[in-house]
Structure formats: structure tokens, C-alpha cells
């Protein structure tokens, strides 16, 4: 299964990345530097070339409305992904899509599922001291945001976990790989 994963490793060459971060919620403080780092790192493993992505941090009410409108689910969720995959000639970039993330739900998830990574085999500071940057410890909330960003980016590239067990397992392995790759680089 791991051999089926296609990852494009880059050399130290920097590619053009337009990462629009919009924070339209007021409850949680966000580390935008960390968000940019994770997006660049994850996308560079899946795609080579100039890209653009929109990351919107929103309230539970806002994401609930989007979830109802586009997925016919009348409840708030932690993340929604909208894949575009179109070339924008005016900016000379490939627009991957939009991620809507609800930080208040992410914070609740970080508290509710504290042992998630240990139970599911994810990289965790309890098993191995994975740090996103040397000598920097991140909160469970920040790690949850990192996981949601990676999860959403995988959806933008067509990965899914609603199908059969093989799809679920492939996405889980790739998500874990990208998390570890971002943590130890």
C-alpha cells in the first residue's frame, strides 16, 4: 500500500505559493506562520509547481451553514474542503481550492481526543518527540490545526476516506506521513 503513494519530493528549490489566510472568527488565536509552513510542506509533497490555496478560519455557525448548503448536513464540523483545481492565468498559479476550518471545534476535538494519535498510530509527542521546528513545543490545539490542514489538503488532491477500507487506510498512512514529514524537517 505504501508503495502506491505517489509523493513528489522537492529539492530545496522554492516554488511560488500564494496562501491566503482569512480569519473570520474571534474565539481562538491562530499561529499563521505555522499554518503557512504546514501548507507549503504538505502541498510540496503532493504537487510541484506554483499554487494558490485559500484557508478560511470561521465560526461554528458559519461552517454549519456551509455544511448544510453543500453537504446537506445540518451540523457544524471541524473542516470542509472545496476542490477547484484550475489554472489562474492572471497570477500564473494553479488554484488548488479552499479549506474552511472551525478553530472552536478543533479546540474541542483536541481536548476530547487527546490520545487520538496514540490509539490510531499517529505521530505523537508521547511516542516520539516529533517537533515541527527544533526546540519548539506546540499545543494540542495547534497540532489539531496541523492535522486538519493536512487532512483538508489531501481531500483537495482527491484522497477520500468515505469509501472502502483500502481508501481509508491509504489516506490515513499518507496523512501520518505528511504529519511526520512536517514535524521532523
Residue 178, domain member (yes or no): yes
Q: Is 183 assigned to a binding site?
A: no
Residue 135 inside a domain? The answer is yes
What pLDDT was estimated at residue 112?
79
* Complete DSSP assignment for 14-63: PPPEEEEEEE---SS---HHHHHHHHHHHHHHH--S-EEEEEEE--HHHH
The H-or-E segment that residue 104 falls in is helix 103-112
What's this model's pTM, rounded to 2 decimal places?
0.80
- Tell me the pLDDT tens digit for each residue of 76-113: 999 999 999 899 888 899 999 999 999 999 999 888 77
- Residue at 3 is within a domain: no
- Residue 161, annotated ligand binder? yes
Count of helix runs (H) and strand runs (E) in the chain: 6, 4
Q: What is the domain range of residue 29? A: 8-184
- Give the pLDDT score at 57: 98
- The answer on pLDDT for 120 being more than 60 is no
Q: How many structural domains are present in the chain?
A: 1
User: For residue 161, is pLDDT > 70?
Assistant: yes
Within 10 angstroms of residue 67's Cβ, the number of other Cβ atoms is 18
* 155 labeled binding residue: yes
Model pLDDT for residues 7-32, shown as the tens digit of each residue: 444 444 557 899 999 999 999 999 99
Amino acid at each position: 500500500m505504501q508503495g502506491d503513494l505517489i509523493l513528489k519530493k522537492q529539492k530545496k528549490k522554492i516554488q511560488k505559493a500564494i496562501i491566503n489566510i482569512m480569519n473570520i472568527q474571534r474565539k481562538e488565536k491562530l499561529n499563521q506562520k505555522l499554518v503557512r509552513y504546514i501548507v507549503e510542506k504538505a502541498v510540496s509533497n503532493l504537487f510541484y509547481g506554483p499554487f494558490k490555496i485559500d484557508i478560511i478560519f470561521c465560526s461554528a455557525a458559519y461552517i454549519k451553514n456551509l455544511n448544510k448548503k453543500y453537504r446537506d448536513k445540518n451540523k457544524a464540523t471541524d473542516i470542509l474542503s472545496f476542490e477547484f483545481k484550475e489554472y489562474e492565468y492572471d497570477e500564473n498559479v494553479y488554484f488548488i481550492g479552499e479549506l474552511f476550518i472551525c478553530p472552536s471545534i478543533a479546540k474541542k476535538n483536541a481536548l476530547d481526543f487527546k490520545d487520538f494519535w496514540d490509539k490510531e498510530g499517529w505521530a505523537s509527542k508521547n511516542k516520539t518527540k516529533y517537533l515541527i521546528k527544533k526546540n519548539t513545543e506546540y499545543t494540542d490545539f495547534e497540532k489539531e490545526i496541523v492535522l486538519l490542514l493536512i487532512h483538508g489538503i489531501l481531500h483537495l488532491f482527491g484522497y477520500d476516506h468515505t469509501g472502502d477500507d483500502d481508501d481509508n487506510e491509504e489516506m490515513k498512512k499518507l496523512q501520518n506521513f505528511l504529519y511526520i514529514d512536517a514535524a521532523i524537517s
